[in-house]
Chain A
Amino acid sequence: MATESSVRNSQLWAQDHPLPFGSKAPAFELLEPATGRKRRSTDLDRTDVLAVYFICNHCPHSLAWEDRLLAIARDFSDSVSSVFIDPSDPVRLLPDGGPAFPEDAPENVAAHAREKHFPAPYLVDPDQTVADDYAAVRTPHAFVFTRAAGLVYRGTVDDNEEDPSAVTTHYLRDALEDAAAGRSVRTPETPLQGCGIKRSADQYPGKRG
C-alpha cells in the first residue's frame, strides 16, 4: 500500500524527496501571464548560473521577502538567469465555493509582475508539475544551478524575513556570488520559512499521519 509521502503531487512527497545536489535544472514550459506566452526553461537559461524561485501572491512570507528577491535578481542579472514561478492552484475551491487563492489567478500574477517591475519572467504552474519536479516545498523556495555543477543551493533568502535591516546572513546572495565566481557554495542548504505549496491532489496537505 502506498504511503502518503510516496505519492507524487503531494507536499509530503516533496519534503521527503528533495532535488539532489548536482541535479540539472528540471526543464519546463510554463505560461507567463504578463505576456500570454509560454516560456521554456531552455530559452531562459542564458548564463552559467540559473536561479529558480518559487513564490506566490497570497503568501505573507513570500511577500515579505519579495522586494529582496527582486533586488537580488536585478543585482545579479549579468551573471545569473532568474525565473519566478507561482505554483498555486488558482481554481482550488473552498467549501463555500469561493477560490482559495484568487491572488494567484493568471491575471493577478500578470498585474503583480507589472506593478512590481519584475526583472525576470513570472510564470504559473497551476497543477504544481514543475514544483514537483523541483520538489519545491514552500514559498519562497530558491534553487540555484550552475552549468558545471548542477544544483548548488536550495533554501531561503536570508535570516530575517520581517526586518531587512536586521539580516545578518544573506544566504541566497552568498550562494549566487559563490556560484557566479565558480566557487563551492558556502551554505548549500538553508531551512525554509514560508507557506506550504498546496498540491491540487492533497486534501489536507499540512497533516502528517
Chain B
Amino acid sequence: MKRRDFIKTSMVLSVLGARLPLMALGKSKQNIRRKTGTWDSDRILVLIKMDGGNDGLNTVIPVYDNLYHQKRPTLAFNANQALMVNEDSGFHPQMAPLVPIFQNGEMGIIHGVGYPQGNLSHFRSSDIWVTGSPADEIWSSGWLGRLFQNEYPNFPDGAPEHPIAIQFNSANLLEFQSVQTNFATMLFDPEIMYYIVNENYVPGSNDPPLETYGGDELNFVRELDLTTLEYSEEIYGAGQDGDLTVEYPNNNLGEQLAVTAKLISGGLMTPIYRLNIGGFDTHAGQGGEHPPLLNQMSNAISAFLQDLKNQGLDDRVMVVTTSEFGRRVEENGSNGTDHGTSGPIFTFGTTTVGNVFGSQPSLSNLDYNENLMVEHDFRQVYTTLIEDWFGLDPTVSQAVFQETFETIPFVANPLSVSGSPAVPEAFTLYPAFPNPFNPATNIRFELPHSSKVTIQIFDIKGREVRTHRLGKVSAGLHDFRLDCRDLSSGVYHIQVETAGSVQSQRVTLLK
C-alpha cells in the first residue's frame, strides 16, 4: 500500500481536525531498552530502489557507440537528444535537473554493477541483490537484516529509541529480514501513523507468556505492538519538529523524499531510509514508460538534495539508487527491453565523490546470453557503504557477506572505525588503479588540509600532454578519474601538485 492510496481514500485526518494533540499515554514498558551497539555515526543512507530493472544504457547513454544505435533502432538516443555530461556519455533527456548536480561533483556513477552468473528470473535476481548471496545459493535473510542483527543481537533489547530503518511501503522487505525479525518500520505518514497506532493500542497483560509455540508468537506480537507504539511517537515528534525548505514534486517518490527530509530535519536519528519507485520493467513500449520515471526521479532527488543543503544537513546524508538488474542490449520486438544483467548505480550528495567509476560497458564483448558483462559486484557497493560510509569495521561486512569485497571509492569522507573522519598526516598519493589501464584510471590522494590541487600528465619524453586544475580541494581522501581515451598507448607520468608538494607516479596506457 502506498501513502498516496491511503491519503486518497482516507477521511481519517479530516475527522480529527488539522493538528493532533500529543497524547499523554500511560504505557507500561515491559522491556528495558538500553542504548548499546557500536553504531556511532550519525550518518544517513537513503536507498532508492528502482523496481523492475532500470535500463542503464538509456539512462547514462553511450551516444557514440555505433553498436548502441544498431541494436536499438527505435529506442536509442543520439548526441543531440541526450544531455551530454562528459566525452562519452549523455544523460537521458528527462534527467535535466541532475546535470548540474553531476557537473558540481555531487553525483557519482558506478558502471556495470551486477553479480557473476546473472540470474534472469525476476524474483531470484531481486532476492540475490537484497540478501547479498552468491548467485548459486539461497539465503533467507537480507544484508541489512544481518547487519543489524550483528549490531543488536538481542533486538529489541538494546535497541535505540528511534526506528532502525524506515521504509515506505507496507510489505515486509527481505533486505531488512534477519533470522529472528524484521528491522524496518513501515511508515506512510507520521501523523496518520501516530493516530492509528495510538488510538488502537492496548497494553498486553502482565503475565509472562506460556512456554509453547503459541507463547512464542504471542511474545512476537506483543513486542511488535510495543515497538510500533514507541517508534510512532519518535516519528511523530520528528515530523512535527521538522521543516521543508523546498517544494517537492507531487509524485510518489517526491512524497517519500519529503517525509524523509522532514524526519531528518526534525532530528530523527534513523540511519537508513528505503524508498522505492516502481515501473522500470519496460518489456514493451519503453519509449513511453521510461521517461516519466526518470523525470520523476530526477526532480524528486534534486529537490531533496537542495532541501538538505538549505538546512545544512547535506554532510550527513547520501542517496544511493539500486535496481534488481539492468536490461538487455538489444531491444525486443515490442519496442522494449527484456531482463538483463548489470547496470549503473548512482550516488548523490555533497558526500559522494562526483566521479564515474568504471566505464561504459562494452556492447561487443557480451556474456554468453548476449548481456552486458559485470564490472563491479553489487556487494562492493554495499561493503563500501558499511565500511566507508558508516565507518564499521571490515570484519562486519565480512560477516554480512561471508566474503571480502573490495570497496569502491565513492565516499568522499570515509569514516574510520573510530567514527570520525580520518585526517591524514601528510599529502599522500596512492598507486593509481587500474594500472596498466584503458581508457581510464583512478588517481587517489589524501590531503592534510584543504588546498589547491593540480594534476599534470607528461609523456615518456617529458612533454606535458594534459593539465587538470582541480581548484581548492577539501582535506581528506579524494579520487580523480583520469580518462586518456585521446592519448596513444605508452608510459606516462602523473604528477599531482598541491601547496608546494609534488608527487608523481608512472602509469601505462595500453590500448
Is chain B a partner of chain A in the same complex?
no
